């Protein structure tokens, strides 16, 4: 058995993202973090999150659900990041979740 070590560095910060409209989704093409602009080479994965987060089971109402489109991207420099577009409440914001390092590098 081969074990691969993947590390995720939590960031959890709002970021400015340049994006283009694709059929049914917004594709990030660049984002600014830590004073530098990172160009996205590829969207490695994309998924929707409609979960309830940490809400207590008895308190889960339909209007409390998340409305996020999550992305794992690879930058031109070969770094990987996870970010999401939060569409809740009619206000859209991008959040940089984490930097990923491991065997893909």
Are the C-beta atoms of 69 and 33 separated by less than 8 Å? no
Instruction: For 26, list phi and psi in degrees, rounded to 5.
Output: -105, 120
As a whole-number percent, the residues of the chain with pLDDT over 90 amount to 53
Cα–Cα dist 35/43, whole Å: 22
What pLDDT score does 105 carry? Answer: 47
More confident residue, 52 or 46: 46
83 within 8 A of 97, measured Cβ to Cβ: yes
Confidence (pLDDT) at 67:
80
Contacts of 48 (CB under 8 A, 6+ apart): 68, 69, 70
- pTM, full prediction: 0.80
pLDDT digits (tens, 9 = 90+) for 15-44: 999 999 988 889 999 999 999 999 999 999
**Residue 18: beta bridge partners?**
30
């Amino acid at each position: 058995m081969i074990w691969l070590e993947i590390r995720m560095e939590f960031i959890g910060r709002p970021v400015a993202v340049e994006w283009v409209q694709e059929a049914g989704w917004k594709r990030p093409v660049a984002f600014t973090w830590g004073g530098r602009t990172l160009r996205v080479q590829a969207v490695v994965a994309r998924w929707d999150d409609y979960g309830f987060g940490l809400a207590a089971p008895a308190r889960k109402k339909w209007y409390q659900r998340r409305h996020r489109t999550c992305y794992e991207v690879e930058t031109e420099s070969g770094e990987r990041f996870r970010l999401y577009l939060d569409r809740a409440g009619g206000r859209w914001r991008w959040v940089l979740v984490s930097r990923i390092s491991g065997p893909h590098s």
